[in-house]
Structure 1
Amino acid sequence: MMQPTLQNARLSLDSRVATLTLDRHDVRNALTGTHLIDDIVATSVWANDCEDVSVLVITGAGSSFSAGGNIKDMAERQGDFAGDPAEVAERYRRGIQRIPLAMQALEVPVIAAVNGPAIGAGFDLANMADIRIASSRAKFGETFLNLGIIPGDGGAWYLQRLIGYQRAFELTLSGRVIDAEEAQRLGIVLDVVEPDSLMTRVDELAGRIADQPPKATRLTKRLMTMGQRMELKEFLDLCATFQGMCHNEPEHLKAVNRMLETMKR
């Protein structure tokens, strides 16, 4: 399937792993005031439709993962931040809020390779991924309140589900910026590595996932995300339905036969 045309990001596909690199390092990969919102949404739609994709990696070019909102635009009340309350609200709905909806709809696992600071909406974007691997140079901050605004992109929804209400509340209300080591202790990131090893570690993990049967991988991603908001009985019904689908896929028999061959060795 043809890749989407992106304006402010780069997209590559290798061995079933798609890598989206936010490429506006001149503004620290700010999501507003650039075309990165459109690029992220377009990539999410493409990844769902492209059967050759099993994993999506998101990272940033330059020294930052993403600075989130463009503070200069906020100061000048322009771009996404211009207008009366109703106009601003509508811009959020038609703008940055498209990212969490697109990310939630993604059928493939997402790994955030956090190469540098992930601040505000950039932090929230990283938290929308299934797994986060951080460079030791990465920093994280839910810094909206420092600017007199709230996490308008859904960040408060994601963070408390990731680390619990109390810790999320403290980070959000204090607006403090934490380093990669503290982020790992809090459970925000899975692993912290040296900057030169970041993509090697991410590619290793992504490759391991991409080697799994692709249709079952997508169903497992759906199962994991839906399990967060379903009661057990309904969830078990969903498991039974998905399992019936898996048992009738050719990839299942192929994987079973591969396992049997391995057991003979």
Structure 2
Amino acid sequence: MAFLTIEREGAVLIATMNQPETRNALTGNTAVDEFVKLCDDVRADTGIKVVILTGAGPIFSSGGNVKDMKRFFDDALTPDMIREEYRQGIQRIPNALYQLDVPVICAVNGPAIGAGLDLTCMCDIRIAADTATFAESFVRVGIVPGDGGAWLLPRAVGMAKASEMAFTGEAIDAAEALAFGLVSRVVPGDQLMAEARKLAVRIAANPGAVMRMTKRLLREGEHASLASLLEMSAGYQAIAHKTADHREAVTAFIEKRQPRFR
């Protein structure tokens, strides 16, 4: 059974983690390969302008499959082998999803635990159901965030709150997640996907190529110097000014009508 269920609604692609029997765990299954393929497919399809990521069932994702971790007790598995397994395994998800040029909305339908929380931080916008909870819980099972959480979470909530969450492993509810900026809005659970779709449609109304460049600038701005980002922005802007969508947007503005983008 596939881990991701994919739906297409015009320029919006909806990816649903669909293994509620495993609490949508990200390891011990085909999740990694499917996430990487999803990102490859979206990157190649310029008709896709927005991705919505959510989970089936009452839980968004429990992260790593704790039962599967027992196999690491085997002395035949050396630390070097385990390190390489992380590199070739779950770490491929942040390398693919965080770097995806298309805006990604995460509709958090329930608990996002461990790598499940970090998965939400790989997305651009997070909307939470009022029943959602969030926990950077690795320490509680005696491991560290192996999927990039120590880099992702502080960028979402700040270093102090990220440290508190990582050192205690305790969960926060949707209201606290909103207060710390982890999510941009909290909605009743039965309205979650409707709200995510509305936002996706508003984003998809804009030119796709320019949106991909805008997201790349936001990503690069997290670690580039101002001088480097200004140089990249100038190059992207030169490309944008020559697009048909820019020409249409300016013409529509002058003619006082809605633009009709390709």
1:20-71 Cα shifts (integer Å, max 9, x gaps): 1011111010000111111111101111110110111110011111100111
Q: How does 1:23-172 map to 2 (within 5 A)?
A: 23-77=18-72, 83-172=77-166
Corresponding letter in the other structure for 2:169: G
After TM superposition, the structure 1 = structure 2 runs for residues 209-248 of structure 1, keeping only pairs within 5 Å, are 209-248=203-242
Confirm or deny: 8 A CA contact 1:9 1:22 kept in the other structure: yes
Out of 7, 12, 17, which is 1:17 matched to? 12
TM-score (norm 2): 0.95
Q: Bigger shift: 244-253 or 228-237?
A: 228-237
Matching residue's letter, 1:158: L
Range with greater deviation from structure 2 (70-79 or 227-236): 70-79
> 1:46, 1:111 → 2: CA distance?
17
C-alpha contact (below 8 Å) 1:141/1:171 kept by paired residues: yes
Contact 1:135 1:195 in 2 (8 A): yes
CA contact (8 A) 1:15 1:210 kept: no
User: Is the contact made by 1:8 and 1:39 (CA closer than 8 Å) also made in structure 2?
Assistant: yes
TM-superposed deviation, 1:262:
2.4
Which of 162, 171, 196 pairs up with 1:177? Answer: 171
Query: Quick one: distance in 2 between partners of 1:232 and 1:144?
Result: 35
Tell me the number of residue pairs that the alignment of Structure 1 and Structure 2 aligns: 258
TM-score (norm 1): 0.94
| AA aligned opposite 1:137 | T
Please report how far the alpha carbon of residue 257 of structure 1 lies from its aligned counterpart in structure 2 after TM superposition. 1.7
1:78–1:28 CA distance, 2 compared to 1 (3 A): farther
Shift of 1:77: 3.5
Amino acid in structure 2 at the alignment position of 1:9: L
The one-letter amino acid of 2:210's match is A
Segments of structure 1 that go 5 or more residues without pairing to the other structure are 1-5
Query: Secondary structure of the residue that 1:58 maps to in structure 2?
Result: strand
The structure-2 alpha-carbon separation of the partners of 1:51 and 1:70, relative to structure 1 and needing over 3 Å to count, comes to same
Change (3 A) 1:245 1:161: same
CA distance in 2: counterparts of 1:229 and 1:76, whole angstroms: 37
Matched letter for residue 99 of structure 1: I
Query: Could you tell me the percent identity over the aligned residues?
Result: 43
Deviation at 1:167, TM superposition (A): 1.1
Residues 139 and 178, structure 1, Cα contact 8 Å, conserved in 2: yes
Distance in 2, matches of 1:211 and 1:154, equals 32
Letter in 1 for 2:66: I
